[in-house]
Homo-oligomer: A and B are copies of this chain.
Amino acid sequence: MNKIKVGVNGYGVIGKRVADAVESQDDMELAGVCDVSADWRIRVAVEKGFPVFAFDDASDQRMADAGVGTSGTLAVMLDGSDIVVDCTPKKIAAQNIEQYRSRNLKFIVQGGEKHETTGHSFSAENNYGTALGRDSTRVVSCNTTSIVRTLTALKSAGLLAKARGTLLRRATDPWESHLGGIMNTLVPEKEIPSHQGPDAQTVDPELDVITAAVKVPETLSHLHYWNVQLTRTSTSEEVLEAFASSTRTAFIKYSDGLPANNTVKELMLSLGRPYGDMYEVAIWEDMVKVVGDELFYAYLVDNQAIVIPETIDAIRALTGIEESAERSIEKTNKTLGIKTRFLG
């Protein structure tokens, strides 16, 4: 079988991870990575031996000046790609789309873009099938991905009536925390409901979900607290079983010495995960609480990593190289080392 040639446009937080993930799939090959940066970031791509492309002539010149050799500009990369994953910063992808469309090139955008840019929003365990053979899709954002995964699990078990969440958002990513973060403060998002609830509904309109969000002064991961109205009286055992039906939701235990997101990060690093990435939604198993027909739980979302497996699955769905959601997910999980239990 011919491998699918994947171009990655934008070599930032998401793009560099997508490139690595593509490299580890036996049914894909990396056509190249494309960026505007001429600093240490793109030089790491050179170090890794990736074909490097410049976003435009100006970038190409800057890279040349910085001693970064390229294989050409974006157009050249697109010529050699069967599909492109756009990982450029929020709102930029919308401007690139015309170029993809005019080449009849399949493409994936990330969650910073609007649903309307592709007309389809993707979350593998929920709606892989509806993306099969499409020209394009949007992998929903980190927060939304975590919401869809967990609520889909509750819904599939017939337990979900409505879900209300409070989302503590990391203020900025670790590598750019010198550029602008928040210090010794908390910054609520003005609008309640925040956008993540409606965003989850672009994947699954049946989800009754309302969220409020607040920025907190840390860089490691998001932390969600949920209060769910169940369809009936239940137990924590039944809820845990429901969550376990997702292959991308892993349990952690407070009593294992994992009471905070910094220790969970260290666990990921200790397990040898690249960047200490956690692709799974990490639910505190021993914090899950059912009171009558109400459910309470909290989980962590690694905002840099969680959408990577979704993106790999989206590549398979759009290109049709794998018709079965289950098989694609299993393959992705295996190659990325995704687990439902991190230890033992």
Contact of A190 among B164, B187, B276, B287 (CB under 8 A): B287
What is the total number of copies of this protein in its complex?
Answer: 4
Q: Are A298 and B212 in contact (CB under 8 A)?
A: yes
Q: Are A214 and B168 in contact (CB under 8 A)?
A: yes
Closest residue on chain B to residue A46 by CB atoms: B344
Q: Are A180 and B177 in contact (CB under 8 A)?
A: no
- 1/0 per residue A266-302: CB within 8 Å of B? 1101111011100000001011010100101110000
Q: Are B164 and A267 in contact (CB under 8 A)?
A: no
Q: Are B218 and A217 in contact (CB under 8 A)?
A: yes
Known contacts A257-B40, A276-B269, A186 near B168 by CB under 8 Å: yes
Closest residue on chain B to residue A222 by CB atoms: B186
Q: Are A174 and B262 in contact (CB under 8 A)?
A: yes
Contact of A178 among B185, B192, B287 (CB under 8 A): B185
Q: Are A178 and B260 in contact (CB under 8 A)?
A: yes
Query: Is A67 on the interface with B (CB-CB < 8 A)?
Result: yes
Q: Are A298 and B177 in contact (CB under 8 A)?
A: no
Q: Are A182 and B185 in contact (CB under 8 A)?
A: no
- What are the residues of chain B within 8 A of A276 when measuring CB–CB? 269, 275-276
Q: Are A261 and B185 in contact (CB under 8 A)?
A: yes
Query: Is A317 on the interface with B (CB-CB < 8 A)?
Result: no
Q: Are A178 and B43 in contact (CB under 8 A)?
A: no
Closest residue on chain B to residue A171 by CB atoms: B183
Query: Is A248 on the interface with B (CB-CB < 8 A)?
Result: no
Q: Are B269 and A183 in contact (CB under 8 A)?
A: no
A286 to B191, CA, bound (A): 9
Q: Are A183 and B192 in contact (CB under 8 A)?
A: no
- What are the residues of chain B within 8 A of A190 when measuring CB–CB? 254, 259, 286-287
Q: Are A262 and B192 in contact (CB under 8 A)?
A: no
A-B contacts, 19 listed (Cβ < 8 Å): A39-B257, A40-B258, A40-B343, A43-B343, A44-B270, A166-B225, A177-B182, A177-B183, A181-B181, A185-B260, A185-B261, A186-B220, A187-B260, A188-B259, A188-B260, A188-B284, A212-B225, A217-B217, A219-B262
In the A-B complex, list the 10 residue pairs whose CB atoms are closest, starting with the nearest: A39-B257, A181-B183, A175-B266, A178-B260, A185-B262, A166-B166, A177-B183, A180-B180, A184-B184, A187-B260
